[in-house]
Structures are given as structure tokens and as C-alpha cells.
Amino acid sequence: MTSTVPVATSLNKFEKLKAEKDGLAVKTELEQFAQLGWEAMDETDRDHRLKWMGVFFRPVTPGKFMLRLRLPSGIITSEQMRLLGDVVQRYGDDGNADITTRQNLQLRGIRLEDVPAIFRKLEQVGLTSIQSGMDNVRNITGSPVAGIDADELFDTRDLIRQVQDLITNKGEGNPTFSNLPRKFNIAIAGCRDNSVHAEINDIAFIPAYKDEVLGFNVLVGGFFSGKRCEAAIPLNVWVAPDDVVALCEAILLVYRDHGLRANRQKARLMWLIDEWGVEKLRTAVETQMGKALLAAAPKDEILWDKRDHIGVYAQKQPGLHYVGLHVPVGRLLAADMFDLARIADVYGSGEIRLTVEQNVIVPNVPDSRLEPLLQEPLLKRFSTEPETLSRSLVSCTGSQFCNFALIETKNRALAMIKELEAELDSPNNVRIHWTGCPNSCGQPQVADIGLMGTKVRKDGKTVEGVDIYMGGKVGKDAALGNCVTKGVPCSDLKPVLRDLLIQHFGSELRQEVTTGS
Ligand code: SRM
Ligand code: SF4
């Protein structure tokens, strides 16, 4: 089945480039691009269509591409991690990897001439990066402790894998879903704490009982963009687990064929819901599925605050534990990747999990292996007991690699948190999220304190600054935060954050700061 995208009379730049040649077409041209080199190849293929393969041209570091993988549920094996470590190690100081806010990995420093060989290796270890950028479905998120959580309601791993296999044709590429009106996010939660941020996905499944059968209530239309941010709303549908894949397929087909395409700023699913109303979307989805859907269950099973999974926790399997490590702003070097792979092999079952907070979990650690694991030198940097402010720090890529960025984020976030921790005693975890521009990849609207990059005027000059968001609530009754202060120059930010932490989050000035000693 191929796309039946309606022909618009005047197409925007992106609809035009997709109509001229499907993004997936570049899959068969990679060898040719590798021989031509990034400077000589067609610019539209380089800057846009390569993203259908997960290969992102970076204008900030021309010639050094970013590779975005797909890791359903954020699960990766030690073998896969080692291979990715090999890839980034090859690029020396240019190479590293970032854990993303969708439980995924992005590799940096990639040379185009190496892409065909890298793809052959990815395939050998069962990894794919296909359809991870542009107008495709992004990495599908799920509980990072699915299958091992002592309190989980439903192990979502297999469902999430099935949805990815549908969308990508088991990693081969699927033209049925490669020309959506815009990007698309799906999350499936089987846990009690909404660890997927269901509310900010275009489709989210959250656990709910109907007539004593465990299935999912369905939310739709959540998204962030520079123009508008909305939490997902109920579709008024409950599905049994067996219908999850078919429902995803039906919603995607309805969105593909009816989603708005004229203006890219108004193309996400919520804009179609605005135009149609949620009832019409529901009817169209039923027609697509060829069957009536049940109404949503009156209540869902998200009952807890969101956990961050950092530390040591007993698994549902007796005698086994998962160990959550804090990875500062999600940045990994090749050596860290090798070390994580070794640790997973030596102490666990060779599996590693990633979280939407850009951290790592090592599952399946037996009682007897816990102590030696906690003594590993890597845990001095990737701690199981980080300080309260560092613990919940999240940051998007920022200007180091992203050309949309209005400010530097990751390095600044780390430096700022260290300075604040030196000045403050902070008894509570405070979720501070940095994002380099209004696209909100760092999700400032879900944070206790969200910092969104902007440009501001200071002393007659344009400098880097932030808009401050507060009030994001996660877990049960999740709600988006709002902008409370606009345009704070980054050079003036520390005292502003210090005051917010003292006034709202129970932090106190350390004695040595108050006495000046
Ligand atoms: Fe994002 C575009 C990075 C999660 C909203 N995002 C980009 C690009 C591809 C822009 C570019 O080409 O430079 C960034 C790549 C920079 C780089 O070199 O790393 C980028 N987004 C990221 C990541 C890596 C942030 C991070 O540091 O973790 C996340 C990758 C997730 C993944 O594994 O696939 C990432 N982006 C998000 C999220 C959060 C989420 O999904 O929970 C959002 C908000 C939620 C949403 O999409 O509704 C998000 N990214 C955007 C947008 C705004 C979309 C819109 O509808 O307008 C853009 C711009 C666009 O698509 O036009 C964007
Ligand atoms: Fe880039 Fe902006 Fe997304 Fe940060 S929020 S990664 S700066 S697009």
C-alpha cells in the first residue's frame, strides 16, 4: 500500500520536496552519496531527505552528520551499545552520543562516506534509524522498566515493537507512513506513573480497566511547537491490548490522508482535531478500522507521581534489581558506551534501558552483583545518588549542534547547576529542563522550572537569554507549565534561579555562602 496524499494546489516547500521524491527513496542512493561527498550531492537530499534514514546534516558542523536511531521502549543490548561506541570512537573528539528525551540515542560526528558501512553494521545487530526524522513517527516510548517493574500493570515492550515494525516495515522502510503531514509521536504506558509523558504525544495509550479487562484509554493530539503547545485530549476510546497496533495504524492513515498540509505550523494532529472535532476523528478512525470502538473507561490507572528510576530498585523477578544511573544531560562518550556495555554484561543480563530524562538503567542485576556494581568507577560520574538539582536536569541539544538553537544549553545547564548546588542546600528534587528554542525538544512545559532559549537585549547588545516556565506537573494529573517570566539574560539567570529555588522548592543558602566563609 502506498501513500494517497491529496494533491494540494499550492504546496509548501516540504510538501513539494516530498511530492517530487519520497524521502525513503534515498535508501538506495546512499552508496552514491557516499562517493559524491556531502558538498557535491543534491542539497535537498542532503539537508532533508537523508533524515528519512535518520541521517541529519548539521549546518553547525558541516560534513559531520548526526545519526538518530530508533530504540523502541528505550531498550538496547550491550552488543548494540558497543557497536555504537565503535562508530563514535572512530571520530575522535568529534564523536559522541546523546540520550534523547524520547528514550533514544543520537550519534555525532558521522561522515557521509561511512554511512553505508554503518548501516550494514546496524542491520547485523538488529538496529535501525529509518524514518526517525522529518514527517515520520518518532521513537515510540514506553515505561523504561517494562517487564521488570514490580508494580507494572502491562508489559508494553512487545506492543511497542509491533507498532515500530508496522511503521517501518520491520526496519526496511514503509512508504505507507513515510509522508505524514508532519512529525508524529506515540507513547504506550503500562505503568502507574506515566513515565512516558503521555500528555505530550500525538497518540498515547494509558492503562485502564474496562469490565475488569486491562487495556488502554487513548489520548490524542498532544504536541509542542514554536507556535502552540497542547496537552493530549481523550479520544473517548478504550482498546484491549490486541487492538493497539490496529488503532495506531488507523489513526495514522486518517492523519496521513486528512491532516492539514498547507501550513507546516498548523499540521500536527491537534490542528485536524480543531477543524473536525474529536468526535469526527473518532468516527473516521472507526470507519478506517471497520469496526465500532468502545468508549473510554471512566478512570485510568495512572495513580502515582512520576518516578525517575535513579537508584537501586527490586524487580518483579525475585532476587533481581534494576540500577538507574544519572547521566549528566544525557551526553555519552565512546568510552562511556563501552563501559556501560561491559557493566550490563558483567552485572546484569547484557541489556541497557534509556529514560526520557536522558538517563540509563541497568536491569537484571542479582543481589550478589549489586555491591560490586555500585563500586564501579563509572558510577562516580554516572551516579545512583546524584545531588537533588543535578538529578532531574534535562537539556536539549542547543547551539553546539542544532542550528535552530537560540542559546547554548547542555554545557550551560551543567555549569549552572554546579554553581547553584555550591550555593544551596536543596532537600527536594527539582526538575529543571533547558530547551534551546521554542520547538521545546527539552520539554520545558513538563518541568518544575523550564528554561526556553531566546535572544534578549542587554546593555545595547543582543545576548542569549531564557523565558522561564513553571508549574509543569508530571505523572498522575499531568499538566503543562506556563511561561512566568520572559527574556532573562543568561548572564543574569543564576540569582533568578536561586530565588525561585528558595521561594518555591525549599532550598536554603548554604551556611558558608550566608556567612561568606
Ligand atoms: Fe526535537 C526538531 C532534537 C525531542 C519538538 N529536534 C528537532 C531537530 C531535528 C532540529 C534540527 O534539525 O536541528 C533537533 C536535532 C538537533 C540535534 O542535532 O540533536 C531536535 N528533539 C531533539 C532531541 C534530540 C532533543 C534532546 O536533546 O533530547 C529529541 C530527539 C527525540 C528522538 O529521539 O526522536 C527531540 N522534539 C523533541 C520533543 C520531545 C518529545 O518528543 O517528547 C519535542 C516536543 C514534542 C513534540 O514534538 O510535540 C520536539 N523538534 C521539535 C520540533 C517542533 C515540532 C513542531 O510541531 O513544530 C522541531 C522542529 C520541527 O519539527 O520543525 C524539532
Ligand atoms: Fe534544537 Fe530547539 Fe530542539 Fe533544542 S529545542 S534541539 S535548540 S530545535
ipTM confidence: 0.99
Mean pLDDT by 10 residues, the chain (517 residues): 51 96 97 98 98 98 98 98 98 97 98 98 98 98 98 97 98 98 98 96 98 98 97 98 98 98 97 98 98 98 96 98 98 98 98 98 98 98 98 98 98 98 98 98 98 98 98 96 98 98 98 67
Residues with CB under 6 A from ligand 1: 56, 58, 66, 68, 98, 100-102, 104, 106, 132, 138-139, 182-183, 185, 197, 200, 223-226, 268, 396-397, 401-404, 439-441, 443
pLDDT value for 406: 98
Burial class of 115 by CB neighbour count within 10 A (0 to 12, 13 to 18, 19+): buried
For ligand 1, what atom is nearest to the CA of residue 222? 48
436 lines ligand 2 (CB under 6 A): yes
Strand-pairing partners, residue 137, are 184
pLDDT value for 516: 58
Q: Whose CA is nearest to atom 2 of ligand 2?
A: 437
Query: How far away, in angstroms, is 271 Cα from ligand 1 center?
Result: 19
Query: How far away, in angstroms, is 373 Cα from ligand 1 center?
Result: 34
pLDDT value for 5: 52
What is the C-alpha to C-alpha distance for residues 399 and 96, in angstroms, rounded to an integer?
16
Active site residues per annotation:
68, 182-183, 436, 441-442
Q: Which ligand is nearest to the CA of 401?
A: 1
Pocket test residue of 138, 404, 409 for ligand 2, highest count of atoms within 8 A of CB:
404
Residue ranges in 198-308 assigned as alpha helix (H): 244-258, 269-276, 278-289
Cell of 292: 465500532
Residue that the C-alpha cell 494509558 belongs to: 206
List of domains in the chain: 13-289 (3.30.413.10), 391-514 (3.30.413.10)
181 lines ligand 2 (CB under 6 A): no
Q: Where are the beta strands (DSSP E) in 330-402?
A: 331-332, 351-354, 360-366, 394-395
